[in-house]
Amino acid sequence: MYIAMNRFRIPPENEAEFRERWLGREVHLRTVPGFVSFQFLKGPAHEDYILYASHTVWESYEAFLGWTQSEQFRAAHAHAGNRKPLMAGPPVFEGFEVLQDIQN
């Protein structure tokens, strides 16, 4: 398995619009081979930003790469640069190979 995460620093004045944009978007992941799950996460609030993260689980690194090269990826990110910026800086990507997965 492979986990792809993006971290977003959101100024408090942009939080409501940022959340609305994420929670109201069209989801394309379900149609991509190798997709396992997605979580949209809210982290701690700091003085000048609130931390958010997207967390996507893939069957493999190759499945993740397939997503990044897919029509669904292009559709999901089609308007990313056309809207008012809501983040304090660019998102920070982190990718992880799963070495152990313990489930109930």
What are residue 5's DSSP bridge partners?
55, 94
Q: What is the pLDDT of residue 76?
A: 77
Positive or negative torsion for Cα 62, 66, 69, 73: negative
> Which comes out higher in pLDDT, residue 78 or 98?
98
Matching residue, tokens 């397939």: 66
For the stretch 14-43, pLDDT in tens is 999 999 988 988 788 999 999 999 999 999
Q: Could you count the other beta carbons within 10 Å of the beta carbon of residue 62?
A: 12
Q: What is the pLDDT of residue 10?
A: 97
Mean pLDDT, residues 45-68: 96
CA distance 78 to 28: 12
**pLDDT band, very low/low/confident/very high, at 79 (cuts 50, 70, 90):** low
Q: What is the pLDDT of residue 56?
A: 96
